[in-house]
């Protein structure tokens, strides 16, 4: 019987996928998302992870920015989930998650780094796959979506 090896492989794959989508709440998504940073190789914008972190429109902007950068640093020059270059030593505290209807929420997060804390807000949307980030807001980047759109527009002008 070959069911046992297949079941073990399926469990291994399931264990590697963030569990927040299965739990169904925006709070669980945010808690799980920042819990992923315990793994030093966590990359929210990487191909294997981005679809479990961001909604499709934000992924499209991130990929377009990367394409236009053509191997160089684009408009997005860091990790948009921690608003940092290097999340080493970061501790995240979810301050609140407020429902904005049945398919939207806003999460306020305090990110503590060795050089001090900073706050960010995540605009969340409920997709077929679960909760995802639609936009982020920080003191220095009031809207990640606007930053990317503006950067893409500027880069597109330079390529013409």
Q: What is the pTM of this model?
A: 0.83
Q: What percent of the chain is helix, strand and coil (3-state, nearest 5)?
A: 40, 25, 30
Q: What is the pLDDT of residues 82-105, one digit of tens each?
A: 999 999 889 999 999 999 999 999
Buried b (16+ CB within 10 A) or exposed e, 79-102: bbbbbeeebeebebeeeebeeeee
**Alpha-carbon distance values, 14 to 6, 17, 19, 159 (Å):** 12, 5, 8, 42
Structure tokens at 29: 């998504």
Q: Residue ranges per domain, the chain?
A: 20-158
Task: Say what the pLDDT of residue 134 is.
Answer: 98
Task: Say what the pLDDT of residue 9 is.
Answer: 35
CATH class of 20-158: alpha beta
């Amino acid at each position: 019987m070959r069911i046992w090896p297949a079941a073990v492989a399926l469990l291994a794959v399931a264990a590697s996928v963030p569990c927040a989508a299965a739990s169904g709440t925006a709070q669980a998504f945010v808690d799980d998302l920042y819990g992923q940073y315990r793994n030093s190789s966590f990359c929210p914008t990487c191909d294997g992870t981005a679809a479990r972190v961001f909604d499709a429109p934000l992924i499209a902007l991130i990929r377009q920015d990367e394409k236009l950068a053509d191997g160089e640093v684009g408009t997005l020059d860091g990790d948009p989930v921690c608003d940092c270059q290097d999340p080493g030593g970061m501790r995240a505290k979810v301050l609140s998650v407020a429902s904005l209807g049945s398919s939207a929420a806003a999460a306020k997060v305090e990110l503590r780094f060795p050089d001090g804390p900073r706050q960010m807000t995540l605009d969340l949307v409920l997709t077929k796959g679960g909760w995802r980030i639609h936009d982020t807001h920080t003191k220095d980047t009031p809207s990640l979506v606007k930053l990317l759109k503006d950067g893409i527009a500027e880069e597109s002008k330079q390529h013409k």
